[in-house]
């Protein structure tokens, strides 16, 4: 088997095992939580008979291993169960929520990725000078501040004081694209500030590492400008680690939006998860956790595969 295909197959197998392990942890974590779901649904005035009947109806009287495999096989078939609080099918409820989360993550990536790469190139062009130091200081300061604090500051000054953007990011299917973009302006800004520093620093470090190569000196001797050398010769050869860190941050944009969605009351998966954690709706929590785990592991797998494909020594073995 070709070395590239072998490595890709290994990454696929490892990702499958990681997702299986994540499903075990999610199920075990929700199972050992204190409290009684049946008691929470029926209230403190429920009789022992009604509690026993509800536990049997929910399958809570079965062993934990039996409940886990029933849940896992159902998830593999696209059945994530039914919400305990409203009796609705979880897959139907999550469809629109997941679409909203991906919509938010997509536009945050559209802003953050090109901006991070441009700032990384600019920092290399003016390395060890004031533009480089200023870019590094501002981006590192933004990543050091908690997301909720950045969100509340933007809500107060940009949303309340200046009135440039809505403080509550509610979107509907009937809204136009422009109205939706206006509604998510503040959460997109927060997410961009959170992931920008990591991508920018990795871009800068990867390009600086390539700048030590002999062909860079040859390009400089041809009379190319510093920015042309960086953009045409250094950056294309530093693309593998840059793509890797971009994919990792895209995974964070999807999985790490919980806090941002809660702050801006955004109707995404994070808000849906937090609402049902408060209600002790275990099937919903398990479903959201499994989807977040699948997205994060999947995007990490894609990053690994892209890094493998970008390695010429693997593509063209001797």
Using alpha carbons, list the distances in angstroms from residue 76 to 67, 69, 96. Answer: 14, 10, 20
Scored b (16 or more CB within 10 A) or e, 40-66 reads bbeeeebeeeebeebbeebebeeeeee
Backbone conformation region of residue 37, classed left if phi is above 0, alpha if psi is from -120 to 50, else beta: alpha
Phi, psi of 82 (to 5 degrees): -125, 140
Closest of 31, 33, 28, 18 to residue 58, by C-alpha: 31
Residue-level length of the chain: 318
Q: What is the pLDDT of residues 138-177, one digit of tens each?
A: 877 877 888 888 888 988 888 888 888 888 888 888 888 8
Q: What distance in Å separates the CA atoms of residue 88 and residue 19, rounded to the nearest whole number?
A: 26
- Chain mean pLDDT for the chain: 81
Return the structure tokens found at 54: 């509800």
Could you tell me the domains of the chain? 3-76 (no CATH), 97-315 (1.10.3720.10)
pLDDT at 239: 75
Distance CA 122, CA 142 (A): 18
> What is the mean pLDDT of the segment spanning 38-61?
69
CA distance 201 to 244: 13
Do the Cβ atoms of 246 and 113 come closer than 8 Å? yes
CA 50/CA 42 separation, integer angstroms = 8
For the question of whether the overall pTM of this predicted structure is more than 0.85, the answer is no
Sign of CA dihedral 152, 101, 103, 298: positive
Q: Which SS3 state, helix, strand or coil, does residue 35 take?
A: coil
Check pLDDT > 80 for residue 85.
Answer: no
Q: Residue 21: its pLDDT value, please?
A: 92
């Amino acid at each position: 088997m070709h070395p590239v295909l072998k490595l890709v197959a290994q990454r696929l197998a490892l990702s499958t095992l990681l997702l299986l392990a994540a499903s075990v942890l999610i199920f075990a974590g929700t199972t050992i939580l204190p409290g009684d779901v049946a008691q929470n649904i029926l209230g403190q005035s429920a009789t022992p008979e009604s509690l026993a009947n509800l536990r049997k109806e929910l399958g809570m009287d079965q062993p934990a291993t039996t409940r886990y495999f029933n849940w896992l096989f159902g998830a593999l078939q696209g059945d994530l169960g039914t919400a305990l609080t409203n009796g609705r099918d979880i897959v139907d409820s999550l469809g629109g929520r997941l679409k909203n989360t991906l919509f938010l993550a997509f536009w945050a990536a559209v802003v953050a990725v090109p901006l991070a790469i441009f700032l990384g190139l600019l920092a290399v062009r003016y390395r060890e000078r004031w533009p480089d130091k200023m870019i590094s200081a501002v981006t590192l300061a933004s990543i050091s501040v908690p997301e909720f604090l950045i969100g509340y500051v933007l809500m107060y000054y940009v949303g309340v004081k200046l009135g440039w953007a809505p403080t509550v990011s509610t979107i509907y299917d009937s809204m136009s694209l422009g109205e939706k973009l206006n509604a998510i302006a503040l959460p997109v800004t927060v997410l961009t500030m959170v992931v920008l520093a990591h991508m920018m620093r990795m871009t800068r470090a990867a390009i600086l590492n390539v700048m030590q190569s002999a062909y860079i000196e040859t390009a400089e001797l041809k009379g190319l400008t510093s920015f042309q050398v960086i953009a045409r010769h250094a950056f294309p050869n530093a693309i593998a680690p840059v793509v890797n860190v971009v994919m990792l941050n895209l995974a964070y944009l999807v999985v790490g939006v919980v806090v941002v969605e809660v702050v801006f009351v955004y109707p995404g998966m994070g808000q849906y998860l937090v609402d049902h954690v408060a209600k002790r709706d275990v099937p919903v929590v398990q479903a959201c956790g499994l989807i977040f785990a699948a997205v994060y592991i999947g995007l990490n797998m894609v990053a690994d595969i892209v890094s493998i494909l970008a390695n010429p020594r693997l593509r063209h073995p001797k």
